[in-house]
Chains A and B, each alone.
Chain A
Amino acid sequence: MLEHGKIDSKQAILLMISMILPTAILIVPAITLKYAKQDAWLSLILATLVGLLIAWLVVSLSLRFPGKTIIEYTEEILGRVLGKIVGFLYIYTFMRIGSGVCREFGFFLVTAMMPETPMIVFIIIAIVISAYAVRNGLEVLCRFNQLFIPVTGLLVIAFLLSTTNMKLTRLLPVFDTGLLSIAQGAVSPIAWLGEILTLAMIIPYLTKPKEAYRVAVISVLLSGFILMINTMESLLIFGPDLANHWLYPTYNAVRVVSIANFLERLDAVILMVWILGGFIKIGVFYYAFVLGSAQWMGLKDYRPLVLPAGLIMGASSYFLFGINIVEYYSHLPYHLILPEVVIPLLLLIVALAKGKGKKSEDEAT
C-alpha cells in the first residue's frame, strides 16, 4: 500500500470539515443570495440534503471495495481501459479543485488585505507549506488540521456577536422567490458539499472503515450548518439586495461588528479561518491528486511526485482560470456535477449490475 498512516474517525470528520468549509464560507453566500434572495437558508437546507445523498453514494460505493481508493476500484468495476480513463478524470478533478483553491486563496488575500503583493507569492507559499505536509503523509496533515480546527469555532462566535445588527424581518416574505430560484441557489453549495467525494480517497486509511457513513454524514451536516449560519449572517445584516452585489458578503458582515467601541475588526477571524483552512484544503486536494496519480501509474511511492505535482497545481492556478474569477465561480458548480454525482452513480449501478465487490460485504455481515 502506498500510504502507511492510519487516521481515526474523529480526525477524518475534522479533515472533511476543513476541506469543505474554508472557501465555502466566503464564496457560497454571494452566489446563493444572488439566486435565492431571502430564501437562501431554504436553499442551504436543500443543498445539505443533497450533500447527504452524495455522501451516502460515495461511501456505499467505497465500502463495496474495502482497502481500495476510487482510482483503484474504477478499474475493477469498468475494466482496464475505461477504468483508467475515469481514473484520469478524477485525478484531473482533484488537480483542478486544488489549483482553483490556490487561486481563490491568493485572490482573496490580494483583493481584501494586501493589494500591493503579487498573487503568485501567496500561491507559492501555500503550495510549499502544503507540499511539506503532503510529503509527510496523511497523518501529519490530519494532526496539523486537528491543531487548527478550533479556529473554525470563532466563526460561530462572530455570528453571535453580530446578532446585534440583525433584523429578522429581512427574511420576509418567506418562500416568495419560488422553487426554481431556491434550487438554483442550492447548486453551488451542493458542489461544495459534494467535495466530500474526496473521502473516497481516504476511506481505505481509516482505522474503522465501517464508520465511514458516520464520518460522511456528520461532516456534511456540520459543514452545511456552519455554511447556513454564515449565509444567514450576511442576509440578516444587509438584506438580500445589498449582500448579493459583493464578492465576499461574509467578510463585510463580520467587519461591521462593533461591541462597545471595543471589540472591533473581527475580519481577522475570517482571515485566520481562510489562511489556516486554505492550507488544509489545498493540502487535501494536493494529497488526493498525488496519491491518485501514484496509484493510477502503479508506483511504489507517491513522495517523488509531490514537488512536480505542486508545480503543476501552481501553474494551473493561473492557466486554468484566466483573469475573471467571478465568471469562474458561476461556472464551477456545473464542472463538478459530473465527477461528484453522475459518475459515482453510474459506477454504483454498474457495480451492482455486475455484482462486483459484493463478496467482501457478505463476509463482513
Chain B
Amino acid sequence: MIVLLIIAFIGIILFEVPGLIKQKMWRDLVAFSIYLFIGMALSIPQVLGIILPNPSKAIEVIIKPVSELLK
C-alpha cells in the first residue's frame, strides 16, 4: 500500500514538475510543493495506521452551544 502511494506521488511529480520548470513558474512550483507536502502528511500516516488529531473535533467543541440549542 505504501509503495503504491509513493508511486502515485512520483507519478504526480513527474506529470507536473517538468512543465512548471520549463515555463519558469516558480511561485506555482512552490504552491504545488506545499500542497503535495500537505497531501503526503495526511495520507502516509493513515496508510501506516497512525491516527492524527482531527480538526473537526475542535470545531465541534466550538459549535456545540449552537447545536445543543436546536436539539
Residues of A that sit less than 8 Å from B by CB: 183-184, 187, 293-294, 297-301, 304-305, 307-309, 311-312, 314-316, 318-322, 328, 331, 334-335, 337-338
* Known contacts A308-B36, A311-B43, then 10 further A-B pairs from the complex at CB < 8 Å, ordered by chain A residue: A184-B71, A293-B35, A299-B31, A307-B12, A308-B38, A309-B35, A311-B42, A319-B42, A319-B54, A335-B63
16 of the cross-chain contacts (CB-CB < 8 Å) are A183-B70, A293-B31, A299-B25, A299-B31, A304-B16, A304-B28, A305-B35, A308-B35, A311-B40, A312-B35, A318-B46, A319-B42, A319-B54, A320-B56, A331-B60, A337-B66
Q: A318-B46, A331-B60 are in contact. Are A308 and B28 (CB under 8 A)?
A: no
Residues of A within 8 A of B48 (CB): none
A interface footprint on B13-40 (CB within 8 Å = 1, 0 otherwise): 0011001100001011101100110111
B27 with A297: CB separation less than 8 A: yes
B25 with A334: CB separation less than 8 A: no
Contact of B31 among A183, A294, A311, A331 (CB under 8 A): A294
Q: How far is the CB of B7 from chain A (nearest CB, A)?
A: 13
Residues of B that sit less than 8 Å from A by CB: 8, 12, 15-16, 19-20, 25, 27-29, 31-32, 35-36, 38-40, 42-43, 46, 52, 54-56, 59-60, 63, 66-67, 70-71
By secondary structure, the B interface counts as: helix
Residues of A within 8 A of B67 (CB): 331, 334
A300 with B31: CB separation less than 8 A: no
Residues of B within 8 A of A293 (CB): 31, 35
Q: A322-B54, A331-B67, A337-B66 are in contact. Are A314 and B43 (CB under 8 A)?
A: yes
Contact of A319 among B12, B28, B52 (CB under 8 A): B52
Residues of A within 8 A of B42 (CB): 311-312, 315-316, 319
**Most chain B beta carbons < 10 A, residue from A294, A315, A316, A321:** A315
Residues of B within 8 A of A312 (CB): 35, 38-39, 42
A308 with B60: CB separation less than 8 A: no
A304 with B39: CB separation less than 8 A: no
Contact of B36 among A299, A301, A311, A334 (CB under 8 A): A311
A298 with B27: CB separation less than 8 A: yes
A308 with B39: CB separation less than 8 A: yes
- A337-B62 Cα distance, complex, nearest whole Å: 13
Q: A319-B54, A320-B54, A321-B56 are in contact. Are A311 and B71 (CB under 8 A)?
A: no
Q: A300-B27, A334-B63 are in contact. Are A311 and B12 (CB under 8 A)?
A: yes
- A320-B58 Cα distance, complex, nearest whole Å: 11
B31 with A305: CB separation less than 8 A: yes
